[in-house]
């Protein structure tokens, strides 16, 4: 059943606070931020054709460094696509190396990798911190048939791979916990890349670019019978981010990817109601997005980042987005 049945509103136009230097040859795909103990605010982007990570100052967009090179060894990449940051770890999904590789921050030391025995064509990742010090990674796997076609629904039961991993003195230790995906009905996952989880509600949101909607699963791999944005998205649903308040409220930020009319749709965290849309005068054809609620110079309420047309990253001031869409920030909910 649809989780929202309201037609999309005319998007609010919000000017980008900055755009990073443009590098189309690198083919930028996904982004994440890290806020270090010594005042570092870093924006990290995957350049899937350049086979590097691009690192910027998250508050200004200034280029800081490039990490990696082409190859399949530690610290090397072959089409890095999805990225996530959790604690002081950077987790990168490499489509063509069919693995998930981990790095330690701030030095980007390679720690190890996992997934090569299970992944076939991986793209996106979402990370969960466990209570025992371990982590969980959910990875989308858009595998194809031998002739590079979409598999039949009956063969789509492994669209998401779930791993549990730890990082210790001996590197990375990982276990493949399960693979899942519905093989019939509304929950079938066909063209998958972006996903994001919410431990408070137990929901795992998976964007299906073929069905043009976002499907809701639980952390046990079961489709919840709910679909978000079926009447809202007009193009390909892409990056997903969560604005989370301590009282369980908040907002989902999603991407309606298009080369001309690129919009970001916002839904409530609890009941998934559609509340509005926005876009920038420059930003279009967005793949990955990331939302940080950490205050930085120039961004007192946090920042929303969106990839712009495969070449760079745009930053939006969250306070301007909230004002334009009449959203309620966490500090106004007595968190």
SS3 324: helix
Q: Is residue 213 part of a domain?
A: yes
- Indicate the helix (H) or strand (E) that contains 62: none
- Please give the residue range of the domain that contains residue 144: 12-332
CB-based contacts of 283, cutoff 8 Å, min separation 6:
16, 19, 262, 306, 308, 309, 314
CATH of the domain at 16: 2.120.10.30
Q: Show pLDDT as tens, one digit a residue, over the chain (335 residues).
A: 445 545 677 899 999 999 999 998 999 999 999 999 999 999 999 999 999 999 999 999 999 999 999 999 999 999 999 999 999 999 999 999 999 999 999 999 999 999 999 999 999 999 999 999 999 999 999 999 999 999 999 999 999 999 999 999 889 999 999 999 999 999 999 999 999 999 999 999 999 999 999 999 999 999 999 999 999 999 999 999 999 999 999 999 999 999 999 999 999 999 999 999 999 999 999 999 999 999 999 999 999 999 999 999 999 999 999 999 999 999 875 44
User: Is there a domain that residue 215 lies in?
Assistant: yes
Number of domains forming the structure of the chain:
1
Q: Is residue 120 part of a domain?
A: yes
> Does any domain span residue 37?
yes
Q: Residue 158 falls within a domain, yes or no? A: yes
Contact predicate 153/210, CB 8 Å = no
Give Cα separations from 36 to 41, 81, 240 (angstroms): 7, 23, 23
């Amino acid at each position: 059943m649809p989780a929202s049945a309201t037609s999309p509103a005319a998007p609010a136009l919000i000017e980008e606070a900055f755009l990073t230097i443009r590098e189309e040859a690198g083919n930028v795909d996904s982004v994440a931020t890290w806020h270090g103990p010594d005042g570092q605010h870093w924006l990290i982007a995957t350049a899937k054709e350049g086979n590097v990570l691009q690192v910027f100052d998250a508050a200004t967009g200034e280029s800081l460094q490039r990490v990696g090179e082409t190859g399949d060894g530690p610290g090397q990449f072959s089409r890095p696509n999805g990225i996530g940051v959790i604690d002081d770890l950077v987790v990168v999904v490499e489509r063509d190396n069919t693995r998930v590789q981990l790095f330690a921050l701030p030095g980007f030391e390679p720690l190890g990798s996992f997934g090569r025995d299970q992944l076939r064509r991986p793209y996106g990742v979402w990370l969960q911190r466990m209570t025992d010090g371990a982590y969980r990674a959910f990875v989308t796997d858009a595998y194809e048939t031998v002739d590079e076609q979409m598999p039949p629904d009956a063969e789509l039961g492994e669209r998401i791979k779930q791993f549990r991993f730890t990082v210790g003195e001996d590197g990375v230790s990982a276990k493949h916990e399960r693979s899942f995906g519905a093989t019939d009905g509304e929950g079938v996952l066909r063209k998958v890349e972006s996903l994001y989880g919410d431990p408070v509600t137990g929901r795992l949101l998976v964007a299906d670019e073929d069905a043009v909607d976002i499907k809701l699963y639980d952390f046990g791999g079961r489709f919840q019978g709910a679909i978000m944005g079926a009447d809202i998205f007009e193009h390909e649903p892409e990056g997903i981010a969560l604005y989370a308040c301590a009282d369980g409220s908040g907002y989902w930020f999603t991407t309606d990817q298009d080369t001309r009319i690129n919009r970001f749709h916002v839904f409530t965290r609890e009941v998934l109601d559609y509340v509005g849309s926005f876009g920038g005068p420059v930003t279009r054809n967005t793949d990955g997005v990331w939302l940080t609620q950490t205050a930085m110079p120039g961004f007192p309420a946090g920042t929303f980042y969106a990839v712009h047309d495969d070449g760079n990253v745009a930053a939006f001031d969250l306070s301007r987005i909230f004002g334009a869409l009449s959203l309620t920030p966490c500090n106004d909910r007595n968190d």
